[in-house]
Structure 1
Amino acid sequence: MEQNQNPQRIVRPYEERDLAAMREIWNEVVRDGAAFPQIDELADDDEAKKFFDSQTVTVVVESEGRLLGLYILHPNNVGRCGHIANSSYAVASAARGMHLGEALVRDSLVRARDLGFRVLQFNAVVASNASALHLYEKIGFKQLGIIPGGFLNKEGEYEDIIPHIYDLTTL
């Protein structure tokens, strides 16, 4: 796949030189405790490299040489359900509102399709994550229902999660 770029940003597969910035962005979202299920941060660049290399693909978005966000893409399950992908997105707090999340999600749809996946599924979109919910609706994801209390936020409160899917065969 060619790099997706405009004058402000480049979306591309990650390179080892990106690891420190990727780990910082990923850990910021983990610390926020409002979107990712992970509790533990990536401890160092070696752990980050193992984690990001274990994905089917890890992609970053940069602008003017500065890394601003990333996503990971991998199978959601195995075997007879291995055609369903899953993805997670992280944008640095200082770069939010620049539509980088949209660029990352749209890129992940194309990459997932090109890798042979038929569906992209999000298992746990937290109901209070209004910007993500709005973005996924705008792009054409379908909500699958609500799982009451499916996410434990960092304040110790349970929030609903809303699984979503996108049929990649329609791209």
Structure 2
Amino acid sequence: MTDITIRPATEADADVIWTMLEPVIRAGETYALPRDMSRRDAQAYWFAAANTVLLAERDGAVLGTYYLRANVPGGGDHVCNCGYVTAPAAQGRGVARAMLADSLDRARAAGFRAMQYNFVISTNTRAVDTWTRAGFETVGRLPGAYRHPQRGNVDALVMFRQL
């Protein structure tokens, strides 16, 4: 899928972004967010003032969204953090890889020196494999730190990559 366009999201994209976020939040398998999170709270989280929110499209069809932000303020603000969601119909078609590549480029351009994922659910093997292939290392493992709705307590990973 090389013809993916990634552009800044606007308030006009809030509805389509919610259609991607809601099933992910409700499933509770890949994001450490409350499964009953309201649309308003989810959008406040995704569109937080510190976040740059982007939308991946192909021929006008929305394929995914991600945000880019400093991982922490102050002395750690040279390390960024991202969150990615792929539309259900676009999964397995390279959308996450395209958003990752775009986020790495945007992070470098913004002056970040590294990217860190703070809480990758270990059972989210597609994400773990994608990030690992892109040069991220697992630098920490939090044993049983996430209550998975089907698998019980599973590990969460901290993944890191220099830019």
The TM-score, its normalising length taken from structure 1, stands at: 0.86
SS at match of 1:77: coil
Answer whether contact 2:56 2:99 (CA < 8 A) is retained. yes
State the shift of 1:156 in Å: 7.5
> 1:20 & 1:104 partners in 2: Cα distance?
20
Answer whether contact 2:46 2:53 (CA < 8 A) is retained. no
1:115-130 map, 5 Å:
115-130=110-125
SS at match of 1:163: strand
Corresponding position of 2:37: 41
Corresponding position of 2:94: 99
Superposed CA offset, 1:101-148 (max 9, x none): 000111111111111211110011111111111111111111103110
> 2:38 & 2:62 partners in 1: Cα distance?
17
> 1:147 & 1:51 partners in 2: Cα distance?
24
Quick check: 1:52 aligned with 2:47?
yes
State the shift of 1:16 in Å: 2.5
> 2:115 & 2:21 partners in 1: Cα distance?
21
Q: Which moved more, 1:149-158 or 1:134-143?
A: 149-158
The TM-score, its normalising length taken from structure 2, stands at: 0.90
1:21-170 map, 5 Å:
21-39=16-34, 40-44=36-40, 48=43, 51-155=46-150, 157-168=152-163
Q: Which moved more, 1:150-159 or 1:108-117?
A: 150-159
> Structure 1 vs Structure 2: percent identity of aligned residues?
29
Report runs of 4+ in structure 1 exceeding 4 Å deviation. Answer: none
Corresponding position of 1:13: 8
> 2:130 & 2:13 partners in 1: Cα distance?
26
Point out where structure 2 has 5 or more consecutive residues left out of the alignment.
none
> 1:52 & 1:103 partners in 2: Cα distance?
21
Amino acid of the structure 2 residue aligned with 1:127 = S
Report the aligned-residue RMSD. 2.0
Answer whether contact 2:70 2:80 (CA < 8 A) is retained. yes
Point out where structure 1 has 5 or more consecutive residues left out of the alignment.
none
Q: How many residue pairs align between the two structures?
A: 162
